[in-house]
Structure 1
């Protein structure tokens, strides 16, 4: 028996497998990475900075903490989440623009005007141009069109050459291009040049605006009527037949208050909407970055909504687009 080598007692196969497996009985449990952790040599001791709430043991690295991360907003908040999880804007990073959801195709509606069928109030916000105030150089106007939820609906850009803008100023003929969220031009507004040196009651001096939707297809006109004490316009269809009338206040430039242009039926008995130039305090007095609020019934014909929308820009150029003061050559 001296040549027999003692061996360990045999164990059942199930017990051997249980010793090899992780003690975690859950299926597909992650491996225990701490069992393979090997500590390296201790690094230099760095005292915690002033105001630090706590510190780690000497030699361990403390990652920087995000002290200025944006606060979480619940899903039911009033402002939509505009950044992806884990992506935080830098201090000088521009805020992305939120657009109104695009509606589907609607019959008997010019392409691009489907937004107006869902709106009864729109806001026209003109961009502030510091270059005009500093250099007296007239630049192309730009407008943001938004709904009540501060969502973008359209972008309106003036397309006029430099000579025409600075030679004729507020009387200049212009072309306004209305684009949607994809940059497609869905509407064009054109104002021809009308001389104002003749008698005010002469038809050739009355201002006019043509609205095309889609570009090249005329849907109506906005025509000025001569009046001694207030602004009066007619909204016409493509055949130049009067459909509605716009009646402004006696004093178009309301210092300290809003200027309201009422949209009424031809007989003046029915209110169809309004174009309100909002008073923005010092910004309204020193610049021409205007804010208009347009109201119309929700069930109004979409072409007439577009005509009231176009009348807002003719009113802006005639009464609220102040030219920069020309510097004296002396």
Structure 2
């Protein structure tokens, strides 16, 4: 009985057919053959003390205690290239955030950071367009600790007409956010007419601090004084708790301006709000720097109220935006 010719194939040809039936290539296609791979990187053991072996600045959904890097809204991009193979150019430096503390009883969410601090720095962003055009923009502040770690970000939310029509007398809303972008505190300043007598209560400036947003934490109220700035820090029931006493001099001219935080009787020193003198250019560009100091064991809510008083002081005495440029009469 004869064997069909289709079955009489050499073993070598059958092996080639079996190998050709596998459509998977031996190597992935080299789409980027014009790029030169970077040098090999030696393996480094993960640092001790981080959950899951994650280095500082990396975030994993499985590790809730690891905090992500801060990215402004609209600037978060996915990773498109393999690290080490493509050059990374024009990348902003990562922002180092203060490690998130554990929740504490009887402390509003987000204020746990202040419980660990006795000193914070309020750094206002420099806005060159304000100097060039005279157009007032929303203020932005970075809140940092003594080791230059970010604690909060404060952003003003005011419409263009209100900012440029009322300037430093404008009502505003300041939103305080943490490293996760959560709004943990809101500060509101209502509009107060200054056309009447300065000693009239309706002309005195005021700031309401809410923490969490919608829940009143306290008020910062101005008191009329002939030669210096005087404020009272009040609780949610408008009961005076502390007082703030400013310098009796022209504010912000060549030296630091110190606003002392004292007890109601004026005897005990509690803290201070210091506006640092950083030069004429910083003053012209409204890039103020405040140094806020308070006792480490002070009630965290009172720390937040002193923190809020800093912004009312900034807008009243140091928000000196340049006037719009005048057109030539010729």
Query: TM-score, normalising length from structure 2?
Result: 0.73
Evaluate the alpha carbon distance shift between residue 254 and residue 133 of structure 1 in structure 2; reply closer, same or farther with a 3 A threshold.
closer
| Structure 1 unaligned blocks of 5 or more | 1-62, 67-74
Give the aligned partner of residue 228 of structure 1: 226
Say which SS state the counterpart of residue 112 (structure 2) adopts: coil
Give the aligned partner of residue 145 of structure 1: 143
Task: Tell me the number of residue pairs that the alignment of Structure 1 and Structure 2 aligns.
Answer: 259
Cα distance in 2 for partners of 1:65, 1:218 equals: 56
Cα distance in 2 for partners of 1:87, 1:187 equals: 43
Give the aligned partner of residue 177 of structure 1: 175
Cα distance in 2 for partners of 1:130, 1:328 equals: 18
Q: How does 1:313-324 map to 2 (within 5 A)?
A: 313-324=311-322
Q: Say if 2:38 and 2:85, in contact at 8 Å, map to a contact too.
A: no
Select which of 122, 125, 128 maps to 1:124: 122
Say which SS state the counterpart of residue 130 (structure 2) adopts: helix
Cα distance in 2 for partners of 1:152, 1:87 equals: 31
Cα distance in 2 for partners of 1:88, 1:268 equals: 62
Say which SS state the counterpart of residue 115 (structure 1) adopts: helix
Evaluate the alpha carbon distance shift between residue 252 and residue 296 of structure 1 in structure 2; reply closer, same or farther with a 3 A threshold.
farther
**CA apart distance, 1:81:** 7.1
Q: Does 1:213 align with 2:243?
A: no
Evaluate the alpha carbon distance shift between residue 203 and residue 89 of structure 1 in structure 2; reply closer, same or farther with a 3 A threshold.
farther
Give the aligned partner of residue 261 of structure 1: 259
| Structure 2 unaligned blocks of 5 or more | 1-35, 40-46, 48-54, 59-82
Say which SS state the counterpart of residue 132 (structure 2) adopts: helix
Say which SS state the counterpart of residue 157 (structure 1) adopts: strand
**CA apart distance, 1:327:** 2.2
Moved more, 215-224 or 88-97: 88-97
Select which of 174, 189, 192 maps to 2:190: 192
Give the aligned partner of residue 301 of structure 1: 299
Give the aligned partner of residue 287 of structure 1: 285
What is the RMSD computed on CA atoms of the aligned residues? 2.5
Cα distance in 2 for partners of 1:193, 1:160 equals: 12
Say which SS state the counterpart of residue 101 (structure 2) adopts: coil
Query: TM-score, normalising length from structure 1?
Result: 0.73
Give the aligned partner of residue 241 of structure 2: 243
Q: Say if 1:230 and 1:252, in contact at 8 Å, map to a contact too.
A: no
Which structure has the larger Rg?
1
Q: Which runs of 4+ in 1 moved over 6 A?
A: 63-66, 80-83
Q: Say if 1:252 and 1:319, in contact at 8 Å, map to a contact too.
A: no
Say which SS state the counterpart of residue 187 (structure 1) adopts: strand
**CA apart distance, 1:251:** 1.8
Cα distance in 2 for partners of 1:295, 1:265 equals: 15
Cα distance in 2 for partners of 1:118, 1:108 equals: 15
**CA apart distance, 1:255:** 2.0
Evaluate the alpha carbon distance shift between residue 170 and residue 88 of structure 1 in structure 2; reply closer, same or farther with a 3 A threshold.
farther
Give the aligned partner of residue 63 of structure 2: none
